[in-house]
Amino acid sequence: EENSIINQELVKGKIDLIPIQKWFFEKDFIDNHHWNQAVMLFNEEGFNESIIKKVFDKITEHHDALRIVFKNEKEDVLQFNRGLEGELYSLEVFDYRSVENYKKEIENKCNKLQSSINLSNGPLVKLGMFKTKEGDHLLIVIHHLVIDGVSWRILLEDFSLIYNMELNNKPITLQEKTNSFKEWSTYIKEYANSKDLLQEEEYWENIENTKIKKVPKDNEIKDSIFKDNRSISIRLSEEDTENLLRNVNKAYNTEINDILLTALGLTIKQWSKENKVLINLEGHGREEFSSNINVSRTIGWFTNQYPLVLDISRDKDISYEIKNTKETLRRVPNKGMGYGILRYIKNKWDNNINPEISFNYLGQFDEEIKSNVFKISNLPIGQSMSLNSENTYCLNINGMISNGVLNMNFGYN
């Protein structure tokens, strides 16, 4: 039965951690309070400070997950959605209008803000406004535990909308809420006890029991941290990107992920000489298993990740490998949602299989958010994540298409 009326009231109370959050706390990062996502906006006319406050009053009221805090209790971490009490975000304003070389100073302030979040007291949203003679820059820092890539689009859309309403003295009206992060967490818990999940168990059990050799490395080190990371980026030309999206996908009836993962599998095989390649795949995680839940406009950290084993034994035959990768991906039940639930909520396996390579294709971002209120600032925003933070993978690969060009970024120690 379709439940189309979504509760629009303020969300409060305890929320069970969802798999990605359990993964985060299980990793026990050294500076786990300093693990953010951040964006810096720019307006050459300058932002109106009192409007910025009204915008974030409304955003933190409407998007409930931005009011979440995390408390340590015995061995457990508890997640609470606060009501409207207490400080829901902080805003600091710095005036550099009479300073010539302000870049370094602003970066230092950004680093301070980025490392100042307290998970148990909150707020998990921090703002810094930097006034310069060229215009104002607004840094928005939010702890990753309550935000992801999809959420940023929602947040920046609402930011622009509310700012314009305030500027024109119009009453603030936002799109209706979709299901809350709290409802999503309950839903995951219900799915954890469903027949559907039982049917997936055998598939994941086989993956967990696959024997995979470690990735070859020049040096084995005990602690691999962000500070020692470097990255290499490559980009395809517009023509090749277009070719990939249209002709290649048409020829093989594939999606871009199939092709990128085949290329990755073949490359790793060439280098490691192993026929089986183990990859951690990331997805946006907002898979709607039923018509009863809709989180399309909900802010929160929904990402899901799961292990994928690619068999690259016939690497001379590229058509075969593309078809094989495509079929391997299509066999993954429910876009991998069940794996995290089985591992972190049902506690099925204890670290049997830990991929050393992570892959995330973020999609096409050609339709950047059009806003008359801000552009994305070109100033450095400081370290979003602590440099002492442990690496979770040896190779971290992220891809996206922006302005018609495929960019791939390879992060490594």
Start-to-end CA distance of the chain, whole Å, equals 51
CATH fit for domain 181-412, picks 3.30.559.30, 3.30.160.20, 3.40.50.720, 2.40.128.20: 3.30.559.30
Could you tell me which residues are beta bridge partners of residue 80? 14, 69
Q: Do 140 and 36 form a contact (C-beta atoms < 8 A)?
A: no
- Whether 181-412 and 13-167 are alike in CATH topology: the answer is yes
> How does 78-102 read in b/e, with b if 16+ C-beta sit within 10 Å?
ebbbbeeeeebbbeeeeebeeeeeb
Two tokens, residue 98: 């009479």
Q: Do 269 and 315 form a contact (C-beta atoms < 8 A)?
A: yes
Would you give per-residue pLDDT tens digits along the chain (413 residues)? 445 689 999 999 999 999 999 999 999 999 999 999 999 999 999 999 999 999 999 999 999 999 999 999 988 999 999 999 999 999 999 999 999 999 999 999 999 999 999 999 999 999 999 999 999 999 999 999 999 999 999 999 999 999 999 999 999 999 999 999 999 999 999 999 999 999 999 999 999 999 999 888 888 877 888 888 889 999 999 999 999 999 988 889 999 999 999 999 999 999 999 999 999 999 999 987 777 899 999 999 999 999 999 999 887 789 999 999 999 999 999 999 999 999 999 988 876 788 999 999 988 876 566 788 999 999 999 999 999 999 999 999 999 998 899 999 999 98
Residue 169 CB neighbours (<10 A): 6
Q: Report the C-alpha gap between 252 and 129 in whole angstroms.
A: 49
List, edge to edge, every strand of the sheet that includes 135-143: 90-95, 125-132, 135-143, 36-43, 375-376
3-state helix, strand, coil in the chain (%, to 5): 35, 25, 40
Question: What is the CATH T-level fold of the domain 13-167, as seen in this structure?
Answer: Chloramphenicol Acetyltransferase (3.30.559)
The beta-strand segments (E) located in 242-275 are none
CA–CA–CA angle 265, 21, 150 (5° rounding):
70
Query: Kind and range of the H or E element at 411?
Result: strand 405-412
Angle in degrees, 0-180, between the axes of helices 318-331 and 256-272, rounded to the nearest 10: 120
Q: What residues does each domain of the chain span?
A: 13-167, 181-412
